A and B are shown apart, each in its own frame.
Chain A
């Protein structure tokens, strides 16, 4: 159906103009989901009746002129670690199989306020821990470009749903690359905003000092529109920042002239797939042709980002996931002797392998005698990494590089070699450690026909400049193809 090919902003404009009813758009997406889910499994929860009732209601509000935003009525998917009032939120874990939040996350309230239509909850690595969506307790999601491959992760369901036209846009969460890397593998746009830009209230915490909710969309315009919708200060998240520069759509018009782009030489070194490298350099050339200043530089500390990241993320995860004790919500084991055994058995049966491993590592690095050597050391390295980026942004507006060292791996390939999977986050984790905004957008296909992601990183709260730069590239690149239809 033609409608499904439109971007979120295009659909929003037609709904506003009265050319398309919200119920028609909802129906089209729900039918598409019904047709494709057996193949891709992007969603964990889709409630057709609820969606249609909601669509009816939104159309009513549109008719009365109550909804005027650019995305009113547009169907959107939300990663299943973001709380939705009255809709099951599992985090891809057995632990929360029957958990129904009694409130919506701050970002979800923003979507509701803008009149967007929540179509369903998407699959993810359990508690967002993973880079392939394979650690979900509810089965793997397949990459719409090649169903023998992973969609990336942890927001794999969201990225695959956007690529497969099973929604017009989606929310993901990014702790070490979990929005950008799946966007890269699925040939769509994914952005991690500056830490503090989007409320984390109601986002089930993994690494609280690194987590940030971000948009996954078909193009940069949709990304700007969705970011504009969710970048709202929230008094319920004390790390949410009050700012006045949230009109991102209007930033997309200016030219690239005078923009200074730096390419870290360390991002093009060993470990980067040759085809990915060629595509990134070709994209850089596009900027040069558009009049941008471009040079290679030495960012430094790149090889220390992952060890620092895993130390901090695991430590925070071990602390954050302590709340799952089988008392107030979540899984409780059937047979136990006393309170402590109930805690231990509930947690051991409710969590999957990867989550338990990270909790173990996190508990270790936080334990007496090891705290200084590991956790504190990692926080110091985090400070150094932030400083290197700060220095780089004295010279450049945007840092350009690959999102991931390779295109999407085969299903099963990554979990058999976890260290390699962790190394796959090498270009993305630094933005989380330094709290910076970064965007991934498709910049080509490799010889296997798989999408390659270009990552642009900006200085703190410079999302406008970042989106503008991405927009210029996208315009010069032209429309990126969708994956081939398959039966």
Chain B
């Protein structure tokens, strides 16, 4: 099957991916996804009707540990990595728009 990724789809995937692509990048992404999907399609040749999907290779169940508080004074260092900080907090743009 030949896949066609249209403009609408690329816009939608861009929203999911939180990416704002340039027009050239969008065209490239279209081609790239189409080519990869055509290629990935060959997985359809395999009968996986009775196969359980495998997300984890090791037979491991939930790994629990005691919830112990370990004091760690790294606040300053953490904030130093932030693009913007104020009064010991991460600074972010306004998240609510004003209702007019």
Contacts and interface: CB of A to CB of B under 8 A. Distances in A.
Interface string B51-72: 1111111101001010000000
Contacts of B93: 336, 338-339, 342
Contacts, number: 163
Contact of A363 (B17, B54, B60): B17
B25 interface: yes
A364 B97 CA distance: 30
Contact of A327 (B19, B53, B77, B82): B82
Interface stretch (A110-118, A146-154, A215-223, A370-378): A370-378
A341 B92 CA distance: 12
Contacts of B83: 326-327, 329-332
B23 to A, nearest CB: 13
A361 B33 contact: yes
Nearest to B32: A357
B13 interface: yes
A311 B13 CA distance: 15
A435 interface: yes
A185 to B, nearest CB: 24
A310 interface: yes
A195 B56 CA distance: 10
Interface stretch (A10-18, A244-252, A300-308, A408-416): A300-308
Interface in A343-393: 343-345, 347-348, 351, 353, 356-357, 359-367, 374, 376-384, 386
Contact of A328 (B9, B45, B56, B81): B81
Interface centre among B14, B44, B53 (most CB of A within 10 A): B53
Given A209-B57, A366-B16, 10 more contacts: A99-B81, A239-B58, A239-B60, A330-B81, A357-B32, A361-B33, A367-B12, A386-B54, A386-B57, A435-B58
B19 A359 contact: yes
Interface string B3-26: 000000100111011111100010
Interface residues of B, number: 52
A235 interface: yes
A86 B17 CA distance: 31
A238 interface: yes
Interface residues of A, number: 70
**Interface of chain A, main secondary structure:** helix
Nearest to B24: A353
Contacts of A19: none
A383 B32 contact: no
A310 B94 contact: no
A318 interface: yes
Contact of A383 (B13, B18, B28, B54): B54
A196 interface: yes
Given A195-B58, A318-B17, A339-B95, A380 B52 contact: yes
A325 B55 CA distance: 26
Contact of A376 (B13, B53, B81): B53
Nearest to B35: A419
A131 to B, nearest CB: 15
A270 to B, nearest CB: 16
B84 to A, nearest CB: 7
Given A310-B40, A356-B25, A379-B53, A102 B20 contact: no
B99 interface: no
Given A310-B36, A360-B13, A363-B16, A102 B77 contact: yes
A299 interface: no
